[in-house]
């Protein structure tokens, strides 16, 4: 069983071939292939390779499945006794990818 830890959008994800992820928006069309070059760790049957900070020559390929938006997050600010209340919503753009292979 092989897996890898990749970094994209300021976050880290543990991925295996076949894994479906929702990452921060990537500027790719649906069906396009994406390469993640920031591989922080790669584990194979031979052993584990830990990068400093990334593993040399390691690559994770994925296919874009969908472009969309995440669930709404409500941001609420209040100051007590000052009649100050603000409510605001935010929906982050996300890209759904399926990991195809770890090279």
Task: Write the pLDDT tens digit of every residue in 64-96.
Answer: 999 999 999 999 999 999 999 999 999 999 999
pLDDT category of residue 1 using cuts at 50, 70 and 90? confident
Residue 72 to residue 77: CA distance in whole angstroms: 16
Residue 78 to residue 70: CA distance in whole angstroms: 25
Of all residues in the chain, what percent carry a pLDDT higher than 70?
100
Burial track 30-43 (b if 16+ CB lie within 10 A, e otherwise): eeeebebebbbbbb
Residue 64 to residue 23: CA distance in whole angstroms: 10
- pLDDT tens digits, one per residue of 44-58: 999 999 999 999 999
What angle is formed at CA 47 by the lines to CA 42 and CA 48, rounded to 5 degrees?
A: 35
């Amino acid at each position: 069983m092989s897996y890898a830890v990749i970094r994209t959008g300021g976050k880290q994800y543990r991925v295996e071939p076949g894994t479906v992820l929702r990452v921060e928006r990537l500027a790719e069309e649906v069906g396009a292939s994406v390469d993640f070059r920031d591989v922080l760790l790669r584990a194979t049957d031979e052993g584990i390779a830990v990068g400093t900070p990334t593993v040399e020559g390691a690559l994770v390929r994925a296919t874009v499945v969908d472009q969309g938006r995440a669930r709404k997050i409500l941001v609420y600010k209040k100051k007590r006794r000052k009649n100050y209340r603000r409510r605001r919503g935010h929906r982050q753009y996300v890209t759904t990818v399926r990991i195809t292979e770890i090279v």
